[in-house]
Chain A
Amino acid sequence: MTQGEGKPMDRVEDLMSPDVVKIPASSMLDRAAQMMVERRVGSAVIMEKEELVGIVTERDILRAVARALIPWSTPVSECMTPQPQTVTPATKAATALSKMLSHGYRHLPVVGEEGLVGVVSLRDLAGSSQPSEPTEETITTG
């Protein structure tokens, strides 16, 4: 038995961010980090000839810092997750969440028929993951 079926808001397309940071695999790590900071996102997708080839996240940047990689001379291709798991705009939010948590990802590229259309993050999905019986939670505090 699965709860939450049939909830119209529970689809990735309703929650994803269409504003994706796209960079080529030859970009250096500092450029990728700069773009993520500027756009206030935690991931950048790596594109080659309009094809999704990888994703780099702030966790990857953290590991790069720990490994003392040189920001301005290390290409993102050295740190990205190649061929990442993806979801479609019609994927249910709960399915996307399961995929993230089972693989330890916090970002999933969203790929539709026309190609990459967005990225959905754990934070995007967080608000959608509530159980469908809110009455249980009407506890007044403070």
Chain B
Amino acid sequence: MDDRKLYTLYQLQSDISEVLAEAFTDSLWVRSEVSECSVNRSGHCYLTLVEKEEKSGRLLAKCSAVIWAQTYRILSAHFRSVTGSDIVAGMNILVKVQVNYSELYGLSLNVRDIDPSFTVGNLELERQRTIARLSEEGMMDINSSLELPALPRSLAVISAETAAGYRDFMEHLHGNQYGFTFATTLFPAPMQGAEAPSDIIAALDTIAQRIDEFDAVLILRGGGSVMDLVCFDDYELALNVAQFPLPVLTGIGHDKDYHVIDMVAWHNLKTPTALADFFIEMFVHEEQAVAALISRLKLALKSKSHRELALFDNMKVRIRSAVSLKASEALRRVDLLQTRLIAANPRTLIEKGYLVVLKDGRRIATGAELVPGERLKVMFSDAVVECEVISSEIKNNAI
């Protein structure tokens, strides 16, 4: 028993420390995932780094690391300027570390440097993988094949309640200059951080239970850094958006490129305000379409009534010409009468040598009733002669 070499704990630890110091003299670059990250009051940053198996997500390795305050101030500023974010849990990072073993605290990696472009590139890589997977699964065009009603008035909005983007959207939509009315219902969810995807999915589930009440779902966020918006590249969230039974429209404030949920959504716009405009424009479009039909209708009716008027005018012409035709006929008749009248005028007859005989001032045409002694007047053209009947003889054909 006694020939066993006994170590004190301290001795063991210092031996390990020595061996490690010899084995890892230079600092080295390590890539890993941040599982925990906190900065203490002195400004030192304590990290828990992990590595997971890619497919199963099973933990393969775990180690603590520290960035001392002096280094952290410089590194975090640099990191933020490139990625737009602080180092947070869930992120993949590439760090230059010095292996350190302390008898009291065990193994720790002392971070000397960080390469933020790795984090950005890694996100992009992951994004591309997610896009490829969703395309392969046929998720890209599912939501966009749904039909959005011509007048989408009832809108379910997923946003952070206090977000500026949400406020802008509400002001823009409800304050539209045309006076269109919309009914919006907010389903609040945080729009950044590791919890965002599952919270947004939960909001979608709530909406799904009230599906008949809504025409469309809107996901709003008023902009942010690359890392803030990384939740919108989440595979599970994209899958839920793609398969949602109502059209999902996104207004996530960014102008550089798409997020994965923009690609699977029914439609995406650059900002919440642009999304509000999109809905207002739909109503403007419909109002214009109806107005166009109204003017076509008016025009059609007008041209028809013009045609009827033209027909009426034509009728007037025909009536007038018919009337004038009749009038000329009448005139001809008058002419004829006149001719006959002229022909019948006693003066004409007298001038021709016929005689007009008057009895008691009246013209008489027969003499059978005249008796001897009666007085008659005979009219010549130049004189009136008074005569007395001497005798009369009735004849059947006197002339």
A, B in one complex: no
